């Protein structure tokens, strides 16, 4: 790899991480009620089943008639030190196009 390209990539990584954190902070601030409600759902499912993914939380959110103003809010659901990743699976939500999602355990 060209030294200049490698140098630019090293500079871009911290900037990309900073922008990601800023975006997650903005989403979390603008969706506080949504996230608090669905985190409680996620905690309940995790304590009951030993694990949870966004698919299970979305299913309950649909039953409750709860949805975020912006879909990026789902990305903040398991943010923080209270959750430990325990696996991955393919999403069954049609809009997720069978992409890989994480499976979490509540550890707080």
Q: Which tens digit of pLDDT belongs to each residue from 40-92?
A: 999 999 999 999 999 999 999 999 999 888 888 888 899 889 999 999 999 99
- CATH number (domain holding residue 55): 1.10.10
Full-model pTM: 0.77
- Under DSSP, the state recorded for 72 is G
The strand order across the sheet containing 100-106 reads 52-53, 100-106, 83-90
Domain range for residue 81? 3-106
- Structural domain count, the chain: 1
Backbone angles phi, psi at 9, to 5 degrees: -65, -40
């Amino acid at each position: 790899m060209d030294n200049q390209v490698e140098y630019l990539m090293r500079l871009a990584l911290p900037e990309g991480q900073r922008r990601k954190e800023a975006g997650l902070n903005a989403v979390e601030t603008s969706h506080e009620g949504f996230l608090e409600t669905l985190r409680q759902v996620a905690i309940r499912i995790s304590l009951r089943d030993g694990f949870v993914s966004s698919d299970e939380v979305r299913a309950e959110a649909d039953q409750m008639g709860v949805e975020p103003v912006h879909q990026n809010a789902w990305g903040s659901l398991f943010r923080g030190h209270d959750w430990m990743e325990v696996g991955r699976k393919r999403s069954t939500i049609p809009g997720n196009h069978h992409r890989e999602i994480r499976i979490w355990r509540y550890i707080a």
